[in-house]
């Protein structure tokens, strides 16, 4: 006997048969997948049971599982529908929302590969239900992504946006060299490009169509044949102090250890600590993904650590933030808090598909920021901050450059070099010009351009 669902909250059992056994197994596999992914029990609901369906609104992105009445009341038809995967998880609040799921042979779920798809379109709750099922002929858009929890959140965020526009989307997870090398600083092993190289290889080989990046991890110069197709609206760009002991730098105990993975943060923190007369605080390197860094803090290796506020908020870990540094105190990195989508050059179809996801104010701001970094050598071995904010039609751009002391001395650190300028910016050309002007101001103030090693 195989359990299947009848009306909401009820269970029914029917005997296995040659016609429907594989469909029932497929149905069970999908339910188990959802329970694992979302952590809640998902049941099928007849469309007429709107109240019952609304109880499922807390399912990811407000999705609920709905099928036509005649199918929900007939276990055999349920099995056939699930065998064909002719359904969608959707609930729109204004307009139509579509989506689809693929399956491999034998009823098992597949997260990768180009397979058959089908979808059903459902209107907002104040419209009459639509019960017709229509197949989708589009090949899925494949997103290459790192497999850290934050990277997967970012890829799924893009996936959900594209699915809402009617495109089938799959994820291709992979581990990059940047994820594997954890015992050395990025500046000593090849820079932040280590986080994107494998993803670009997947694009080049045709295994993926787009790659989603945290923009601050993307090199300033993309390899030939690749373009930045889209920059999405920015999250909180600030740095965040995370600690189980203190809520501010001034509260650090004598001889405290402060962890960061960034040379930029190291020099800015040292500048802040020097102003507090706290030369006793040691700034130590901290590598690993976000969860790994938090675990090292919780294990007592550090008194406090500094992370990007955006990542913490995206993973619903904002409660771990004890203090958010304003840009005047800790100027963010170029592109911090923004997501960028990379594609192969010569894919106008993808540029058109991704256009609705782009946020022009963010794109212009990060273009100016990244141009400062590019003009200064674009190396993560150089402590450089650049952050732009809008003031009406004016884009105000600030930058800071510092030196890292490797001599182990106890004397004062060299002062930071700072620069700022603003201008009316309407397009990429004007944004780049603003970035170049601020970079020149840094050089005029004594900042040195990074040289290739």
298 catalytic residue (yes or no): no
Q: How big is the chain by its Cα radius of gyration, in Å?
A: 25
Residue 165 phi/psi, 5-degree rounding, is -90, 0
* Nearby residues of 34 by Cβ (< 8 Å), 6 or more positions away: 42, 59
Place of tokens 């923004």: 338
Token pair belonging to 362: 């963010």
Question: Can you tell me the distance from the alpha carbon of 266 to that of 400, in angstroms, rounded to the nearest whole number?
Answer: 13
Q: Beta strand 169-174 with 226-231: parallel, antiparallel or unpaired?
A: unpaired
- Could you tell me the strand order of the sheet in which 282-285 lies? 282-285, 257-260, 304-308, 239-242, 321-324
How far, in Å, are 197, 235, 236, 256, 259 from residue 239 at the CA level?
26, 12, 9, 19, 13
Catalytic residue (choose from 217, 236, 239, 303):
217
Q: Is 82 exposed, middle or buried (0-12, 13-18, 19+ CB in 10 A)?
A: buried
Which neighbouring-strand residues pair with 183? none
Provide the total of helices (H) and of strands (E) in the chain, helices listed first.
14, 19
Q: Measured between alpha carbons, how far is residue 206 from residues 78, 203, 311, 375 in Å?
A: 36, 5, 29, 32
Q: Are strands 384-391 and 210-214 parallel, antiparallel or unpaired?
A: unpaired
- Both tokens of residue 270? 């040292």
Residues 6+ apart with CB under 8 A from 281: 252, 255, 256, 257, 258, 273
Catalogue the active-site residues. Answer: 217
């Amino acid at each position: 006997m195989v359990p299947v669902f009848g009306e909401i909250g009820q269970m029914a059992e029917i005997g296995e048969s040659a016609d429907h056994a594989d469909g029932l197994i497929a149905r069970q596999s999908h339910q188990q997948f959802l329970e694992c992914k979302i952590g809640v029990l998902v049941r099928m609901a007849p469309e007429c049971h709107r109240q019952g369906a609304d109880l499922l609104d807390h399912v990811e992105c407000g999705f609920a599982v709905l099928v036509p009445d005649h199918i929900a009341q007939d276990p055999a038809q349920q099995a056939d529908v699930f065998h064909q995967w002719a359904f969608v998880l959707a609930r729109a609040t204004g307009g139509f929302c579509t989506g689809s799921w693929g399956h491999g042979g034998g009823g098992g779920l597949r997260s990768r590969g180009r397979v058959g798809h089908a979808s059903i379109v459902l209107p907002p709750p104040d419209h009459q239900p639509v019960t017709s099922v229509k197949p989708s002929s589009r090949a899925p858009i494949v997103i290459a992504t790192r497999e850290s929890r934050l990277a997967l959140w970012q890829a799924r965020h893009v996936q959900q946006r594209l699915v809402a526009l009617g495109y089938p989307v799959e994820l291709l997870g992979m581990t990059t060299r940047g994820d594997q090398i954890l015992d050395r600083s990025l500046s000593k092993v090849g820079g932040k490009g280590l986080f994107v190289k494998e993803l670009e290889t997947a694009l080049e080989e045709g295994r993926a169509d787009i790659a989603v990046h945290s923009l601050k991890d993307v090199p300033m110069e993309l390899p030939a044949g690749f373009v930045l197709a889209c920059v999405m609206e920015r999250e909180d760009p600030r740095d965040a102090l995370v600690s189980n002991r203190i809520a501010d730098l001034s509260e650090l105990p004598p001889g405290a250890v402060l962890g960061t993975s960034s040379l930029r943060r190291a020099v800015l923190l040292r500048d802040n600590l020097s102003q507090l007369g706290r030369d006793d605080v040691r700034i130590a390197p901290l590598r690993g993904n976000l969860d790994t860094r938090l675990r090292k803090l919780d294990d007592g290796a550090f008194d406090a650590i500094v992370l990007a506020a955006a990542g913490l908020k995206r993973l619903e870990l904002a409660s771990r933030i004890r203090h958010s540094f304003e840009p005047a105190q800790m100027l963010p990195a170029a592109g911090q808090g923004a997501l960028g989508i990379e594609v192969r050059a010569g894919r106008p179809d993808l540029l058109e598909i991704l256009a609705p996801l782009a946020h022009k104010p963010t794109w212009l701001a990060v273009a100016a920021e990244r141009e400062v970094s590019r003009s200064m050598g674009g190396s993560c071995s150089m402590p450089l901050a650049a952050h732009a904010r809008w003031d009406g039609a004016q884009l105000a751009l600030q930058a800071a450059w510092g030196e890292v002391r490797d001599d182990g001395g106890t004397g004062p650190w060299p002062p930071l070099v700072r620069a700022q300028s603003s201008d009316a910016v309407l397009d990429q050309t004007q944004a780049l010009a603003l970035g170049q002007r601020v970079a020149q101001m840094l050089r005029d103030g004594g900042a040195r351009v990074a040289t290739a090693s």
